[in-house]
Amino acid sequence: MRRFKNILVVCNNAIGADDALSQASALAAYNDAKLTLIDVVPLTHATKEAVVERRKALIRLMNALAYDGLSKVKVEVRTGTDYIEVVKEVQVAGHDLVFASAKESSVMRDALYGNMATQLMRKCPCPVWIIKHDQPHTGTRILAAVDPAADTEMDTPDDIKIMDLASSLCIQQHAELHVLHAWQVQGKDADTLRSEIRDATREQLLKKHEQIYRTGVDRLLARYRRLNLNQRVHMPRGVGEQEIARAAKEIGADVIVMRASGRKGISGLLIKDAAEQILGSVSAGVLVIKPDGFESPVKIEKSLEAA
């Protein structure tokens, strides 16, 4: 399943940028994909000399990759606001995956590993893979966080995207696939659980709802049975982001594949969504997909789009 064909990696001076490039180039080689190295010079420093120097730096990286056998590599240097220019490049060139790096900050937790990583997770229309600095890239465990609906027998497009990405990475890296769905009792039964009931009744209600969600997970995984993945299923009862973070730590996940929050048709995403909270609490990288109908609030000029 060589899924990616047009990968973009942010190659700036941020800590961890080398890690992002390493992961991106390995994935590009496996998929025989095009790889673009991008850097954005802030307008406050956008002298002609600065732009030329950054282009030279990217060309040196490109030449090193060519020496290692990667031939479909090009460079792009833009001026402006970093995440805006990265999103515009995605929209113009049709990239299907963006790599960027993140640096842990215990001082400014709300900044969440730097503004660009956060903004890309919220506003980039294609999947975004945030690589943690000094994260051990063993590639042995991938955690896919899915959310099958309890009131339908259809797999959701977002869950299919998550599983497509996660299974593709597992095949490439010969990794374990851990599929997680955190569930909670809904509806009238939730009110019943909060009342004084017998232990046997409580247990019966919990088993009923767990089975409903397990049926949805099993139906989703049936799509991938022919791949013979080395997979495990986790069905904790609890709040999604808390259980995802807990499982990632327990299994030693290298990357978490999950959906960003948002409603169909929404322009941008809710502030501090689940993916951002999880990125701030685990050592694993996070690969975020956008929900169906997502519209980036970053717009490009018609002339650029036509070009």
Domain check: are 235 and 208 in the same one?
yes
What total number of domains does the chain contain? 2
In a domain, 261, yes or no: no
Are residue 94 and residue 197 in the same domain, yes or no? no
**Closest of 98, 127, 138, 120 to residue 11, by C-alpha:** 98
Q: Mean of the pLDDT values across residues 124-140?
A: 80
- Confidence label for 246 from pLDDT (cuts 50, 70 and 90): very high
Q: Which of 113-117, 216-220, 285-289 shows the lowest per-residue confidence on average (mean pLDDT)? A: 113-117
What's residue 117's pLDDT?
87
Query: Within a domain: residue 269?
Result: no
Q: Is residue 266 part of a domain?
A: no
In the prediction, which pLDDT does 33 show?
A: 95
**Cβ 165 vs Cβ 193: under 8 Å:** no
306 pLDDT more than 60 = no
Mean pLDDT score, 90-103: 92
Confidence at residue 304, expressed as pLDDT on a 0 to 100 scale: 52
Residue 103 clears pLDDT 50, i.e. is over it: yes
Cβ(129)–Cβ(25) under 8 Å?
no
Q: Are residues 154 and 115 in the same domain?
A: no
Task: Please report the pLDDT score of residue 194 as a whole number.
Answer: 83
Mean pLDDT on 118-124: 90
Q: Lowest mean pLDDT: which of 31-45, 87-101, 132-146, 163-177?
A: 132-146
**Which pLDDT belongs to residue 263?**
44
In a domain, residue 275? The reply is: no
First-to-final CA distance of the chain: 31
Looking at the structure, tell me whether residues 66 and 112 fall in a common domain: yes
Q: Does the residue 195 lie in any domain?
A: yes
Please check whether residue 127 lies inside any domain of the structure. yes
pTM to 2 decimals?
A: 0.87
Range of the domain at 151: 138-253
Give the residues across from 37 on adjacent strands. Answer: 9, 75
- What is the chain's mean pLDDT, rounded? 86
How far is it, in rounded angstroms, from Cα 210 to Cα 151?
13
- Whether residues 128 and 156 fall in one domain: no
Residue 280 within any structural domain of the chain: no
Residue 168: both structure tokens together: 């593709």
Shared domain check, 107 and 178:
no
> How crowded is residue 210: how many other Cβ atoms within 10 Å of its Cβ?
16
Q: Looking at 66-75, 122-131, 206-215, 257-266, which range is the least confident one? A: 257-266
pLDDT at 264 over 70: no
The H or E element spanning position 222 is helix 199-222
The answer to whether residue 250 scores a pLDDT higher than 80 is yes
Q: Is 84 helix (H, G, I), strand (E, B) or coil?
A: helix
Domain check: are 247 and 117 in the same one? no
- Asked if residue 141 lies in contact with residue 254, where contact means CB atoms within 8 angstroms, the answer is yes
Claim to verify: residue 178 and residue 193 sit in the same structural domain? yes
The SS3 call for residue 264 is coil
If asked whether residues 14 and 124 sit together in one domain, one would say yes
Q: Give me the pLDDT at residue 15, please.
A: 74
**Which pLDDT does position 192 carry in this prediction?**
82
Q: Cβ contacts of residue 126 below 8 Å, gap of 6+?
A: 90, 95, 96, 97, 98, 290
In a domain, 304, yes or no: no
pLDDT tens column, 169-209:
999 889 999 999 999 888 887 778 888 888 888 888 889 88
33 and 151 share one domain: no
* Residues 85 and 115 both lie in one domain: yes
Same domain for 128 and 158, yes or no, is no
Output the domain CATH number for residue 247: 3.40.50.620
